[in-house]
Amino acid sequence: MISRKYSEHFSAWSEALGQAVQAVGSESFYVSLCQGLSALPEMSHPLVLYFPKGEPPVAIYSDYTEAEDYRLQIEQYICGPYILDPYYRLSESHAPNGVYRLREIAPDDYKRSEFYHRYYKAIEAEDELSFVQTLQNGDALHISMTPENTGSTFSKSMVQFTKTIAPVVLALNEQHWQSIETKPSSTQGHLHRELSRGLSLFGSSVLTDREMATLGFILQGHSNQSAADRLGISISTVKLHRKHIYKKLDISSQSELFHLFIDSLSCLDPEKDLDPLDAYMKIP
């Protein structure tokens, strides 16, 4: 049963949903669907990202009107750091289709990560809900929303309501993608492959295998305890690995680590599996 609070918005949502049904297979599909989501209480800035298999994401729909917000939220994201996004990692783990809240899937130390500060704090987003879906062709699709009021979080009732309408949204998504003849492409499949290679090779010239594994969890925003649980080692060992990583890379914070990783990717050898950091550090 819909509460009075939601019934005030349900008419606009129903109307937009009807338009989305009629627009399946056309360019106006996501305009209608996202207008309906925006009409719901607490919801704002719906963003549709399409993740072709083996390629960087493609922005299908966004209502950002300020160029700087679009640059921070989308352009920089697509250029590489998306591989550290909890929602992207969730899709890569073949999670069931559904609605996921950022706090439910993010590593426990995520809000201290540089990714969080660069992409969430920059637009003052404290929360996020996303329809995460693996399509029948193996590609992934995310429709995310942030709270309407700056610095606020979604209420439990709104989260539950979103999960209630998820089957309809997911079914329409699948029907739409089966109906369109030409799928969007980033035309940068090589970028995705290089980013994945860069992440696996970064620091390999100076770090041990265990330190490399710990490094990956640090970049994703895991705490020492979380990394220890996933690696099956003690927290004191993780702390020691982190200490050695920072010393060997000549850094003192997770923020410096993030920037060093991004900057070093420009030195990744396209043919040889060499540590991009080694080449980067040799630049005069």
Residue 119 lies in a domain: yes
Say yes or no: 14 and 92 in one domain: yes
Say yes or no: 119 and 68 in one domain: yes
Q: Which DSSP string corresponds to 167-204?
A: HHHHHHHHHHHHH-SS----S-HHHHHHHHHHHHHTTT
Say yes or no: 174 and 258 in one domain: no
Say yes or no: 23 and 128 in one domain: yes
Say yes or no: 167 and 255 in one domain: no
pLDDT of residue 34: 94
Say yes or no: 172 and 271 in one domain: no
| DSSP for residue 206 | T
pLDDT of residue 1: 45
Residue 274 lies in a domain: yes
Say yes or no: 122 and 21 in one domain: yes
Say yes or no: 129 and 46 in one domain: yes
Given 179, 209, 228, the domain boundary residue is: 179
Residue stretches of the chain with pLDDT short of 50: 1
Given 153, 179, 205, the domain boundary residue is: 179
Structural domains of the chain, count:
2
Determine the structural domain holding residue 265 and report its residue range.
189-281
Residue 130 lies in a domain: yes
Say yes or no: 195 and 169 in one domain: no
Residue 198 lies in a domain: yes
Say yes or no: 131 and 29 in one domain: yes
Nearest to 109 by CA among 132, 81, 76, 86: 86
Residue 46 lies in a domain: yes
Say yes or no: 17 and 83 in one domain: yes
Say yes or no: 27 and 112 in one domain: yes
122 token code pair: 């920059």
Looking at the DSSP assignment, which residues form a beta bridge with residue 99? 131
What CATH number does residue 268 fall under?
1.10.10.10
Given 149, 179, 209, the domain boundary residue is: 179
Residue 70: how many CB atoms within 10 A of its CB? 15
Residue 17 lies in a domain: yes
Residue 220 lies in a domain: yes
HSE-CB at 155 with a 13 A cutoff on CA atoms is 11
pLDDT of residue 13: 86
What CATH number does residue 58 fall under?
3.30.450.80
Residue 184 lies in a domain: no
Return d(Cα 234, Cα 236) in angstroms, integer. Answer: 5
